Amino acid sequence: MIEIFLPAPTYKWRETKKTHKGKCPKRGHCRRDRESRMLQGKGNSSYKIIHKGLNPKTRKPNLSIGLTERAQAAQDAIVAGLIALPERPEVATACDVRLDATFVFEPVESWPAWKKEAALAQHIRPTFHNVGDRGQHLKMIEDCLEKAGYYANDRQVTVGDVSKIYGLHQGYSIRITRLRPTPRTKKDLFRLLNDS
C-alpha cells in the first residue's frame, strides 16, 4: 500500500479571452498569463478541438481532441510533483489496483470565521461551482498517476473510494493498494478458487 499527500501545485497557462469585437489590433492582444493553485479536473470544458490541416485525399479537415492550455498545465504540474516524491514504487503491471482519493480544498478566504470553522469540521462540504465534479478530479489524478509510473494503465483501477473535503492544506490525498491479479485463464481461476 502506498499513501501520498501531494500539495496542490501552482501551474501557469496562457488564456485567450476576447474583450472586444472584430480583429485584434496586434498579435497576442487578447492573450494573458494566468496562474492558479485550484485543483483542476478533467471535464467537458478541459478539452478542445484541434485542427490539423486538411486531409489531402478527402479535402476534409483533420480534427482531434486535446486538453486545453489550463488542463495541460495542471496535469504537467501534478505529474512533476508525483515524480519528485522521494519514495516511488515499482510500476504495477500485472495486478489490479485499488485507488482511494480525497481531494482537499481550502475554505474560501472571503468566508466569515464561523463558516471556515464549520467547513474544516466537515459540516460544510465542497459542492460549490468552482470546486468541480468528483469524477472529473478522479479522471485527472488517474491519468497523472499513470504518467508518473505508479501503474501501467488506469484501466487497472477497479475499486476505490473518492471524496471531496475542506482542509487546511489544499491538495490530493491518495492511497494505492495492489490487489490480486485478475485470472486470465480457466487454470488461473481454478488455482484462485483452490487457494481461497
Q: Quick one: pLDDT at residue 102?
A: 94
Cell of 171: 491538495
Indicate the CATH number for domain 2-16+31-178: 3.30.1330.70
pLDDT at 195 over 80: no
Q: Quick one: pLDDT at residue 175?
A: 92
157 — phi, psi (to 5°)?
Answer: -75, 110
pLDDT at 29 over 70: no
Query: Rounded to whole angstroms, what are the CA distances from 138 to 12, 76, 186, 187?
Result: 21, 16, 33, 35
Q: Quick one: pLDDT at residue 28?
A: 64
Exposure pattern of 160-181 as b/e (b: 16+ CB <10 Å)? beeebebbeebbbbbebbbeee
Query: Would you kindly state where each structural domain of the chain is located, as residue ranges?
Result: 2-16+31-178
User: What's the pLDDT tens digit per position in 57-76?
Assistant: 887 887 778 888 888 888 89
